[in-house]
Amino acid sequence: MKPATVRGLQEVRDGTRTSRRLDPDGRHGVRAYLDAIENSMWWGPELQGEPPIVLAALGPLMLKLAGERTLGAHPFFAAPENTKRSREILGPKPWRCPEQKVLFETDPEKARIRARAAMAPRLCSGR
């Protein structure tokens, strides 16, 4: 990230810079978002080198973009099969940082109740 104003990133966050228009390759403003991040000031602790950036990506086009423009992908709330597929798309070098939920419960009914409670906010958020 280059020292710059935070304006570009803020425009992306508050929606004034992004839109539902498609990028030429079919992605919704993600390239503009990554451009804004790359040109924004780093406010975190001092680092040696660039701040690590990964892209939340599930589908093949977003995974490919993550491998091209960031250190890798963070497939979130995806099945284990997606983890294998994402590695195949990303290739061997980019980071793959999946979230995999594990539940240690031997009673199937209790496991279903706890799993549904953990998944409900993501399934019912409208996103």
- How many structural domains comprise the chain? 2
Do residues 63 and 36 share a domain? no
Do residues 31 and 63 share a domain? no
Do residues 74 and 12 share a domain? no
Do residues 3 and 38 share a domain? yes
User: pLDDT for 77-103, tens place per residue?
Assistant: 788 888 888 999 998 999 999 887 888
Instruction: Give the domain extent around 30.
Output: 1-51
Do residues 79 and 116 share a domain? yes
User: pLDDT for 19-56, tens place per residue?
Assistant: 444 455 555 588 888 888 888 888 888 888 888 889 98
Do residues 16 and 71 share a domain? no
Alpha-carbon torsion angle 79, 84, 86, 90, nearest 10: 170
Extract the tokens encoding 39: 């040109």
How many whole angstroms separate alpha carbon 97 and alpha carbon 82? 12
Query: What residues form DSSP beta bridges with 72?
Result: 54, 95
